[in-house]
Amino acid sequence: MMKTVSTEITAGLQAQVQSQSFEGVLNRMQVPADQSKQIVEAAMGKVSSNLVMTNPQPAGMQNQMAPMFITMALYVGAMIYSMQSVGGLRSLQQQMGKWKAFFSLRLVNLLISLIAPLIAIGIYFMVQGYGMETFMKLWLLHSVQLFVCIEFTSIFIMLLGQGGMLINLPILLSQTIANGTTMPPEMMPGYFKFMSHITPMFYSTHLDYNILFGGGKTSDYGIGLALVGLAALAINIVIHQFKSARQIDDVKETVQQSVMV
């Protein structure tokens, strides 16, 4: 995008300088037309763009798109896993108790979050290696990202059951734009800019870019990802509290009606 803008600005400057400056000055100086044209063409060749790239990426589309696709793959995995884990939670809490089952599942989520990213990152590093230090940073980052994504996608599953996928899918599609890979945040429409602040893919993708290629605001992105995860965990706790209470009341009501009959 920046290269395109630079090219358009340079072409505009050339046309403006040619039409308004050099030709007008030379005509007033009564320079012959042929000589004036030669002078203007020589001057136009000196107007050029100088685009300085900060934090350049290695050549290849795989480097440009890797942060987006690694993050998206783990997000899709988290979305599918959350659907299965919430279903398992409902059966576990009958055996272990409401809160013991809830926090035990969070420990399982944490364990999965530590193991699963090794597969995605390992495949990427087999194709394009960046060294062990970068590998460890990406592994820890995507472990946090996967845990946050599990909590985030679990919100709608805990609220609506299997029907929560009808909300998770549009949110996933929205994040393909809101993650900032295909469109800078400054150019996003209001909806996608809002989604970038409350969803995990934006922060994870930008942290990937910073780790792999360099960049600023690393701490801001890290704090943003952590806040999304904490907020999602808090919402899940509230949902679990009230939804479990409602289910217990429904069971008691059914039992009382059976006894009365």
Residue 20 has what pLDDT? 53
Residue 140 has what pLDDT? 93
In 3D space, the residue among 50, 116, 104 whose CA is nearest the CA of residue 80 turns out to be 116
pTM value is 0.75
In 3D space, the residue among 83, 207, 199 whose CA is nearest the CA of residue 142 turns out to be 207
Residue 125 has what pLDDT? 83
Q: What is the DSSP string of 183-226?
A: S-GGGS-HHHHHHHHHSHHHHHHHHHHHHHH--S-HHHHHHHHH
Residue 197 has what pLDDT? 92
Residue 32 has what pLDDT? 65
Residue 91 has what pLDDT? 78
Residue 251 has what pLDDT? 35
Q: In this predicted model, what pLDDT tens digit does every residue of 176-201 receive, in sequence order?
A: 889 888 888 888 888 999 999 999 99
Q: In this predicted model, what pLDDT tens digit does every residue of 8-24 receive, in sequence order?
A: 777 666 666 555 556 56
Distances (CA, A) of 136 to 24, 95, 112: 63, 38, 17
Please check whether residue 61 is in contact with residue 130, taking contact to mean a CB–CB distance below 8 angstroms: no
Residue 112 has what pLDDT? 93
Residue 133 has what pLDDT? 87
Please check whether residue 88 is in contact with residue 108, taking contact to mean a CB–CB distance below 8 angstroms: no
Q: Which residues of the chain carry a pLDDT beneath 50?
A: 245-261
Please check whether residue 113 is in contact with residue 42, taking contact to mean a CB–CB distance below 8 angstroms: no
